[in-house]
A and B are shown apart, each in its own frame.
Chain A
Amino acid sequence: QVQLQESGPGLVKPSETLSLTCTVSGDSTSSNNYYWGWIRQPPGKGLEWIGIIYSFGRTYYNPSLESRVTISGDTSKNRVSLRLNSVTGADTAVYYCARGRTYNSGWHEFDAWGQGTLVTVSS
């Protein structure tokens, strides 16, 4: 059974870079059957799709964050990473990594999620 575990600093200063890692066990990030994504949820609010990465390295980002976000993968370590530059208080959220299914030549639903990690942006 796949498990996803987010890790990284819980506190980031304004204007600095948020960096998180998602370590995957029980599956391979190089599998063609899945893609890997990041989703965030501000405290008490709804879910926001940040972006995704396919096993072959192609990425797609939310246009609202695209100028500040980078998602990368390290298949040798079975990890997916998120970097978000120039953070502000509006970036305070629980950040989730998730596995999405690919089939019929398309990208589909998220079927497995990490437990999430709270990142607070504050000086």
Chain B
Amino acid sequence: DIQMTQSPSTLSASVGDRVTITCRASQNIRSWLAWYQQKPGTAPKLLIYAASTLESGVPSRFSGSASGTEFILTISSLQPDDFATYYCQQYESYPATFGGGTKVEIK
């Protein structure tokens, strides 16, 4: 299985901050990576797919980038609605695997 290592596991930030979350794949996954946002008691929501393509309806403050096996989710200016847990997922090969999650908390 491809291992996805996400960091940090928890992040404390303030409204307006620029936030970055990193996900590293244990092997080459090309650009087959998605980012999801999950709020307590709700299902994950797709934010970014193919490493850097913004899902329709998702605010443009979210962006994704990739360099080799390192993938980054950036929130350019954190908004109150963005406090949540974020997961990466690779879909290069079966089984798909998720990162361990990053909880973005209010500082």
Contacts and interface: CB of A to CB of B under 8 A. Distances in A.
Interface of A: 46-49, 51, 60-64, 96, 98, 100-101, 106-111, 113-116
Q: Is the interface of A mostly helix, strand, loop or mixed?
A: strand
Q: How large is the interface on B (under 10, 10 to 19, 20 to 34, 35 or more residues)?
A: 20 to 34
Contacts of B87: 46-47
Contacts of A51: 95
Q: Is the interface of B mostly helix, strand, loop or mixed?
A: loop
A30 B73 CA distance: 33
Interface hub of B44, B50, B97, B100 (most chain A Cβ within 10 A): B44
Interface string B1-20: 10000000000000000000
A108 B49 CA distance: 8
Contact of A115 (B42, B46, B98): B42
B42 A109 contact: no
14 contacts: A46-B101, A47-B98, A47-B101, A49-B89, A49-B95, A49-B96, A49-B98, A60-B94, A63-B95, A109-B34, A110-B44, A111-B46, A113-B44, A115-B43
Contacts of A108: 32, 34, 49-50, 91
Nearest to B4: A46
A110 B46 CA distance: 7
A6 to B, nearest CB: 10
A48 B46 contact: no
